[in-house]
Chains A and B, each alone.
Chain A
Amino acid sequence: EAGVAQSPRYKIIEKRQSVAFWCNPISGHATLYWYQQILGQGPKLLIQFQNNGVVDDSQLPKDRFSAERLKGVDSTLKIQPAKLEDSAVYLCASSQTPGAVEYFGPGTRLTVL
């Protein structure tokens, strides 16, 4: 069974630029999560989708971050415009149902200069 796929693996941008990350969850997993992991810290949930609907986006900085999962499968996370403090690894995870075991992708490492 294929795992969670993410791309790109690395991205370097300058502050005030825009960036987008893509995630393809494990086939059949209805729940998809985006996490932000700052160096030296544990992952922090940004947004949770159930199929194509948002379940929890309480920790998403909505002035600059947006995410969508239009067809209930793939998802994109966008930052516009980026700030220096957005430098982090962005992890995507999926689970069969909310609260079930979450399987993580390899992450996208973002560096904002």
Chain B
Amino acid sequence: GQQLNQSPQSMFIQEGEDVSMNCTSSSIFNTWLWYKQDPGEGPVLLIALYKAGELTSNGRLTAQFGITRKDSFLNISASIPSDVGIYFCAGQEAAGNKLTFGGGTRVLVKP
């Protein structure tokens, strides 16, 4: 089956920094999604991408659908403490197909 490799697995942020994470796939996807999961909660959709090359923003978040359709990137600008959490990418091969999730990027605050 498809595999999504998400990196980095974890990162420390300092307030005000920009952070980036990415997801690569062994298969082509028609849809890329980015979710955030807080402790004890289910994932919440942040951004959905439906077209290769698409660049979409949601506040301080920007995500891109890679041209090859096998990767996607998420950037967070000017990070704040509430950005802490686990970010998941998810891909969908075709409309109506199931989602495949990456392993997550855990964002932590620098001590």
Contact = CB atoms under 8 A, between A and B. Distances in A.
Interface in A89-107: 91, 93, 97-99, 101-107
Given A101-B45, A101-B48, A106 B40 contact: yes
Nearest to B95: A99
B68 to A, nearest CB: 21
Interface stretch (A11-19, A38-46, A68-76): A38-46
B42 A99 contact: no
A41 to B, nearest CB: 6
A91 B42 contact: yes
Contacts of B45: 101-103
Interface residues of A, number: 22
Contacts of B104: 40-42
A42 B103 contact: yes
Contacts of A44: 101
Contacts, number: 48
Interface residues of B, number: 22
A43 B97 CA distance: 15
Contacts of A87: none
Interface in A35-92: 40-45, 48, 56, 91
A42 B101 contact: yes
A110 interface: no
A43 B96 contact: no
A4 interface: yes
A98 B94 CA distance: 11
Contacts of B42: 4, 91, 93, 104-107
A93 B89 CA distance: 16
Interface of A: 4, 33, 40-45, 48, 56, 91, 93, 97-99, 101-107
Interface of B: 4, 6, 31, 40-45, 48, 88, 90, 92, 95-99, 101-104
